[in-house]
């Protein structure tokens, strides 16, 4: 078996006829019941099942998809995803849980692959029929897409771009970070500002608009930080940093419960890893000469 953290994942085109049957080589199977990934329990760890044939292990996927394969140069193992019926009783030694809950057990590499898998599983399940004429869709062989043979409409997996931005302000007492508390957050948790990109809007325009709408201030010196696929449910998070320009904090009451400027050594409860929100906050702490917290 390969470790996703030490191997390279290579994506493969969506080939429904390339699925393994009984007697095929062992492969990693990312099997989902709704949004719950099925994992093999192994003490304090959880493992993605490595199976020769999921049916022989007690799984009967409703639909399956080719993801690609993991390769460490000397060895490669195929990766597949699949949708399980919601009422399927899992075999002994397996359990299902959400990706958020499983992250501490899976780690970055497996979490990223599982995030890719759940988005493809969801797209396949929710695009069996054409959104224009209602006819059944066909899966294309040479690209990850579906096409309606009746009206010609093509469909690709949905990605929803969203910006997430860390805004800093220079004060007489030092540099401060803008953090806000969304009404949907667990009690006490704060994070950086985020929001979805509107049609016809650049990423920088979205960043400025979201900050202005949510907390009432204007920003300057918007700079790209990094990106992260975020499968909740199909976001691509694009991280930025910026500096305060003008205005006083006035929260948008429908979405934001509270917001303020925080010092690096006096931060509130933060979003968990592996979110890019946490990476932005950790980078702020590092820039202020502090070691990011482990929790």
State yes or no: cis peptide before 203, omega within 30 of 0: no
CA dihedral 169, 173, 174, 178 (to 10 degrees): -40
Total-model pTM = 0.87
- pLDDT tens for the 295 residues of the chain, in order: 788 877 888 776 545 455 555 457 889 999 999 999 999 987 777 899 999 989 889 998 999 998 888 988 888 888 999 999 999 999 999 999 999 899 888 888 999 999 999 999 999 999 999 999 999 999 887 789 999 999 999 999 999 999 999 999 999 999 999 999 999 999 999 999 999 999 999 999 999 999 999 999 999 999 999 999 999 989 999 999 999 999 999 999 999 999 999 999 999 999 988 899 999 999 999 999 999 877 6
List of domains in the chain: 8-126 (3.90.79), 160-287 (3.90.79.10)
């Amino acid at each position: 078996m390969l470790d996703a953290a030490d191997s390279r994942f290579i994506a493969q085109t969506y080939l429904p006829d390339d699925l393994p049957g009984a007697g095929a080589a062992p492969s990693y199977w990312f099997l989902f019941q709704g949004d719950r990934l099925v994992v093999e329990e192994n003490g304090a760890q959880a493992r993605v099942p490595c199976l020769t044939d999921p049916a022989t292990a007690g799984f009967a996927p409703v639909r399956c998809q080719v993801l690609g394969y993991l390769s460490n140069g000397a060895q490669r193992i195929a990766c597949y995803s699949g949708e399980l019926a919601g009422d399927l009783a899992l075999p002994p030694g397996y359990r299902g849980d959400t990706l958020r809950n499983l992250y501490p057990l899976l780690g970055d590499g497996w979490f990223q692959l599982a995030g890719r898998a759940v988005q493809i599983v969801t797209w396949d399940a929710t695009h069996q029929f054409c959104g224009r004429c209602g006819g059944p869709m066909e899966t294309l062989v040479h690209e990850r897409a579906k096409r309606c043979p009746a009206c010609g409409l093509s469909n690709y997996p949905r990605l929803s771009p969203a910006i997430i931005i860390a805004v800093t302000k220079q004060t007489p007492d030092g540099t401060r970070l803008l953090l806000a508390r969304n009404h949907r957050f667990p009690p006490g948790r704060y994070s950086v500002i985020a929001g979805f990109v509107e049609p016809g809007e650049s990423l920088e325009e979205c960043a400025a608009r979201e900050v202005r709408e949510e907390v009432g201030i204007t920003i300057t010196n918007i700079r790209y930080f990094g990106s992260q696929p975020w499968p909740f449910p199909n976001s691509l998070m694009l991280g930025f940093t910026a500096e305060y320009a003008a205005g006083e904090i006035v929260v948008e009451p429908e979405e934001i419960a509270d917001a303020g400027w925080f010092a690096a050594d006096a931060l509130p409860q933060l979003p968990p890893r592996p979110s890019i929100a946490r990476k932005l906050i950790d980078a702020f702490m590092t820039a202020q000469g502090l070691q990011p917290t482990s929790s």
